[in-house]
Amino acid sequence: MIATMTRMRSLMVLALAALLLTCMAALLPQAAYAQEDAALNGEDVVHIHLHDSDNVVHPSHIRLELYEVASGSWYEGELHLLSDFPESATHHNVDDVAAHSPETAADLEVWVKRDHPVEPLAVVESDANGDVVFDHLEDGVYLVCQQNKDGDSNGKHYDVEVMPFLIEEPMMNEEGELLFDYDCDPKIEVHVLGEDSMDVSVEKHWIDSNNQAGLRPNSIQVALLCNGEAYDMVTLDASMNWCYTWSGLASDQEWSVQEVNVPKGYTAKVTRENNTFILTNTVQPDEEQNPPDEGDGKPGKKGGNNTPSQKSGKGSSGWAGHLPQTGDGLELGMLVAAAGVSFCVLALATVARSKRRAKRSE
């Protein structure tokens, strides 16, 4: 009896051990893929911290732009360049992008801002701690570059330059672990601006009858130039009243602005009033936008028929519609000639029939 109870206890212990192992085996994959599940639920987050090399200056008001360069996962062999970043034009393939080199990032920044303007996926401004967060990212590689250079920290104004860089979601650390939520500290340079700084403003004016032709774009890009070289870029739209001000610029430099791409159908003009630049876009005349085809027959236009139109014959005199038109005399002569020929043929046929009847009667 005792032996039987001992065997039963042993069986129960084995059964419990097997159950425990089964539960552990079921939980291990869940733990391994917990981060991936979080990613699928839109929890992919990259925290970017802007600070100088001494970790003293944490500039706020720096806007960072996010561009998706490639989609998919390089670790799974499914990373593909997006159509806006063709290898034939950017001269960078998937491996270059996945390597996250500063040189590749710098080339791609020139591509999206000058050679082939691309709308950023997102634009986020740094907070009081110099932090920027990009979340709900899908798997892929992203380019991050700055939109403006004027920032504040510790009550001082700074000229901030953020070197363009590439981030990936997910990111693999040195231990080979995939991270879906991680921190990033890009390289930046900061220069404090003295009291002799100045502000430069830009205003966009439209002369287009309140967009009657429907040609006005939703937004435009304006570049700030320092001594003729590109310094910063801003996007203007109606929500900003088509104006913007750069603050804390060095007063010993020459500043100007330039519209990046003049909208189709408009002419552009730049004027200056003190430190405010006014960009005026004037819609082109309709004749310049849609020139008529040569010889379209429309009165009074180039290539048209300017001769007076003929009367229809419904006028009060009652005879205008019977005026001979060009070529009417020739047509009348041909008609008379045809009638004469027909008469001669009919006469000859009648004479011949009469002769045949006379012979029969003989």
- pLDDT tens digits for range 290-337: 543 444 444 333 333 333 333 333 333 333 333 344 444 445 455 555
How does DSSP assign 60-73, residue by residue?
BS-EEEEEEEEES-
Please give the Cα distance from 224 to 209 (Å, whole number): 28
The β-bridge partners of 141 are 70, 168
pLDDT tens digit string along 110-159?
A: 999 888 989 999 999 999 999 999 999 999 999 999 999 889 998 888 88
Could you give the domains of the chain? 45-192 (2.60.40.10), 197-286 (2.60.40.1140)
Collect all residues with Cβ–Cβ distance below 8 Å to 169 and sequence separation of at least 6. Answer: 39, 44, 46, 137, 138, 139, 140, 142, 180
Collect all residues with Cβ–Cβ distance below 8 Å to 171 and sequence separation of at least 6. Answer: 178, 179, 182
What is the residue-level pLDDT of the chain in tens, covering all 362 positions?
Answer: 555 555 555 555 455 555 555 555 554 444 444 444 444 444 689 999 999 999 999 999 999 999 999 999 888 889 999 999 999 999 999 999 999 999 999 999 999 988 898 999 999 999 999 999 999 999 999 999 999 988 999 888 888 999 999 999 999 998 989 999 999 999 999 988 766 778 999 999 999 999 999 999 999 999 999 999 999 999 999 999 999 999 878 888 899 999 999 999 999 999 999 999 999 999 998 634 554 344 444 433 333 333 333 333 333 333 333 334 444 444 545 555 555 555 554 555 554 555 555 544 45
Q: Which two tokens stand for residue 58?
A: 């944490």
**Nearest Cα residue to 92 out of 147, 170, 166, 163:** 166
Please give the Cα distance from 294 to 261 (Å, whole number): 31
**Nearest Cα residue to 200 out of 256, 152, 159, 252:** 256
In this prediction the pTM is 0.53
